[in-house]
Chains A and B, each alone.
Chain A
Amino acid sequence: MSEPRRGLGPKVLEIDAGETIERLSVWLRRILARDLSRRGFVVAISGGVDSAVCAALAVAAVGKERVYGLLLPERDSSSASAPRGRRVAEHLGIRHELLDIAAALEALGCYRLRDDAIRVVFPDYGHGWRSKIVIRGGAGRLNHFNLVVQTPSGEMREARLGMREYLQIVAATNYKQRIRKTIEYYHADRLHYAVIGTPNRLEFDQGFFVKNGDGSADVKPIAHLYKTQVYALARHLGLPSEVCNAAATTDTYSLAQGQDEFFFRLPLEQMDLALWAHNHDVSPAALAEALSIEVAQAAAIYADIEAKRRTTRYLHRSALLAESIAEIGV
């Protein structure tokens, strides 16, 4: 570990937004032609900053005529998401369509299977209730998952999730991301386009995605960028202010769930800096000073980053082969 670095702060995450956009545009054009042999890009636009920036980068690369946008809300999506996504698509001038996937999810039993598991913990859970999963732990405790519910009258309740209920809620909820990806690839296939995945660096590094859901794509143009940098690109690209100012949520559970609640245990701005610091061998002492936290907490954050990398390695793997097949380079 290096000596405490002077001046560790938001400045280390500053980038030349214009140069970054130009470089990514060139790269997207090159890989589309050379590596993917496709004619354009499909991008699902959630209303959040990541997908908006990806759509804008695609337009910068190949022009608005070669980008197709998808708005894919469902029952638990924020009512603001689809309208915001549509404004992004209209701002960029791209073809787009909205398909509400609630019926498809209903047919698969997504909501029923999730709610069955919730009712093991809260038997009264039903119509008008809302829910989300949060991570608890810290202060020496092991990370574990709690279920938070809100009754129709607004009362909040919380309880620890047992393994079976936790896995079933996540598995059922994962249908959302996987159905969306299925739709993205339908359009990619019919248009002969490539699918853009929109994770930012924190999400990609820490495994905050669904395997074969939002984790699946042909290209991920912002997977190397910290969230703070994605916001910088959004402002430089002139995206609507509501997108540039939107807080990061999962938009997956019926109770608004901040990404920091499900996966991270720091505010996102601090997680960006912590991840950067860890990646650049900054000591826990220096990080602690920069974030105004205890050194022990900074060390625990680094340990947590590594733990999540270990446990989510599974999500990054492609299929393992019993023997390599050299003829096709795998």
Chain B
Amino acid sequence: MSTGLPEDICHDPTSYDVATPWGAMTLDLHERILRYLLENYLFTEDRNALGVDESLIGRGIVDSTGILEVVLFIEEELGVKVHDEDMIPENLDSVNRIAAFVATKRRSA
């Protein structure tokens, strides 16, 4: 399926609804979040180093200080405010979860 998006950010286009603006936005979000975590926490460009559904806390990549960094990234780089009640693993504990959380917040803004 042609997505119209550059090949290097469509690593699995059938996983996302890329035909909609929301889908395209979610893909871009996944990429930005994955790249942020790979560069700042794992110091690698190897995309296989972190699964998009892997628990960041379970893997030991993020602890209580690391969560603050993720929150800072979400607020400053992705433009979404993270409230106290948003700070749950369901929103922040994997690439996919962060992307879904940010996308939801943007839609309701």
A residues with a Cβ closer than 8 A to B are 135-137, 140-145, 160-164, 166-167, 307, 310-311
A189 to chain B, nearest CB (A): 34
**Cα–Cα distance between A161 and B72 once the two chains are bound (Å):** 10
- Interface assignment of B89: CB less than 8 Å from any CB of chain A: yes
Q: Which residues of A contact B60 (CB under 8 A)?
A: 310-311
Please list 26 pairs of residues, one from A and one from B, whose beta carbons are closer than 8 Å in the complex, sorted by A's number. A135-B64, A140-B88, A140-B89, A141-B85, A141-B88, A142-B57, A142-B64, A142-B67, A142-B87, A142-B92, A142-B93, A143-B64, A144-B84, A145-B64, A145-B68, A161-B68, A162-B68, A163-B65, A163-B68, A163-B69, A163-B71, A163-B72, A166-B68, A167-B65, A307-B63, A311-B60
Would you call A310 and B68 a contact (CB within 8 A)?
no
Known: A142-B67, A161-B68, A311-B64. 14 other contacts (CB 8 A): A137-B64, A141-B85, A141-B88, A142-B64, A142-B87, A143-B64, A144-B84, A144-B87, A145-B68, A162-B72, A163-B69, A167-B65, A310-B63, A311-B63
Which of A160, A164, A166, A167 sits near B84, CB closer than 8 Å? A160
**Cα–Cα distance between A212 and B31 once the two chains are bound (Å):** 39
Would you call B63 and A141 a contact (CB within 8 A)?
no
Q: Mark B53-68, 1 if CB is under 8 A from A, else 0.
A: 0000100100111011
Q: Which residues of B contact A162 (CB under 8 A)?
A: 68, 71-72
- A-B pairs, top 6 by smallest CB distance, nearest first, are A163-B68, A311-B63, A143-B64, A163-B72, A142-B87, A163-B69
B residues with a Cβ closer than 8 A to A are 57, 60, 63-65, 67-69, 71-72, 84-85, 87-89, 92-93
A294 to chain B, nearest CB (A): 18
Kindly report which residue of chain B lies nearest to residue A160, judged by CB atoms.
B84
B37 to chain A, nearest CB (A): 15
Kindly report which residue of chain A lies nearest to residue B91, judged by CB atoms.
A142
Q: Which residues of B contact A141 (CB under 8 A)?
A: 84-85, 87-88
Q: Which residues of A contact B88 (CB under 8 A)?
A: 140-142
**Cα–Cα distance between A164 and B87 once the two chains are bound (Å):** 17
Q: Which residues of A contact B85 (CB under 8 A)?
A: 141
**Cα–Cα distance between A242 and B87 once the two chains are bound (Å):** 41
Q: Which residues of A contact B92 (CB under 8 A)?
A: 142
Kindly report which residue of chain B lies nearest to residue A304, judged by CB atoms.
B64
**Given A162-B72, A164-B72, A307-B57, A143 and B67 touching (CB < 8 A)?**
yes
B93 to chain A, nearest CB (A): 8
**Given A160-B84, A162-B72, A163-B72, A144 and B57 touching (CB < 8 A)?**
no
**Given A143-B64, A145-B64, A311-B63, A136 and B84 touching (CB < 8 A)?**
yes
Q: Which residues of A contact B89 (CB under 8 A)?
A: 140, 142
**Cα–Cα distance between A142 and B85 once the two chains are bound (Å):** 10
**Cα–Cα distance between A307 and B67 once the two chains are bound (Å):** 13
B72 to chain A, nearest CB (A): 5
**Cα–Cα distance between A161 and B84 once the two chains are bound (Å):** 11
Kindly report which residue of chain B lies nearest to residue A159, judged by CB atoms.
B84
Kindly report which residue of chain A lies nearest to residue B64, judged by CB atoms.
A143
**Cα–Cα distance between A51 and B84 once the two chains are bound (Å):** 37
**Cα–Cα distance between A286 and B65 once the two chains are bound (Å):** 31
**Cα–Cα distance between A141 and B92 once the two chains are bound (Å):** 10
A186 to chain B, nearest CB (A): 32
Q: Which residues of A contact B68 (CB under 8 A)?
A: 144-145, 161-163, 166
B22 to chain A, nearest CB (A): 26
**Cα–Cα distance between A144 and B93 once the two chains are bound (Å):** 14
**Cα–Cα distance between A217 and B62 once the two chains are bound (Å):** 29
A211 to chain B, nearest CB (A): 14
Kindly report which residue of chain A lies nearest to residue B76, judged by CB atoms.
A162
Would you call A166 and B65 a contact (CB within 8 A)?
yes
B40 to chain A, nearest CB (A): 12
**Cα–Cα distance between A137 and B69 once the two chains are bound (Å):** 16
Q: Which residues of A contact B69 (CB under 8 A)?
A: 163
